[in-house]
């Protein structure tokens, strides 16, 4: 169960990513745009 949970947590859904970006500060958004790897 833990392995499954960890695996599911690793793959972030598009909606979750959008929410995270919306909640992120402008500086974090800028860093993410400049550094896609992060």
Read off the pLDDT of residues 1-38 as tens digits, 9 standing for 90 and up: 455 665 556 666 888 888 887 777 777 667 777 776 65
By three-state DSSP, how is residue 1 classified?
A: coil
pLDDT, residue 38, reads 54
pLDDT, residue 18, reads 81
Tell me the C-alpha distance between 8 and 32, whole Å.
22
Whole domain around residue 24: which residue ranges? 2-34
Q: What is the pTM of this model?
A: 0.32
Q: Into how many domains does the chain fold?
A: 1
pLDDT, residue 2, reads 56
Q: Which two tokens stand for residue 36?
A: 């896609």
Q: Is the Cα dihedral 36, 23, 30, 38 positive or negative?
A: negative
The counts of H helices and E strands in the chain are: 3, 0
């Amino acid at each position: 169960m833990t392995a499954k949970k960890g695996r599911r947590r690793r793959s972030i859904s598009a909606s979750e990513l959008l929410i995270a970006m919306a909640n992120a500060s402008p500086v974090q958004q800028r860093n993410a745009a400049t550094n896609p790897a992060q």
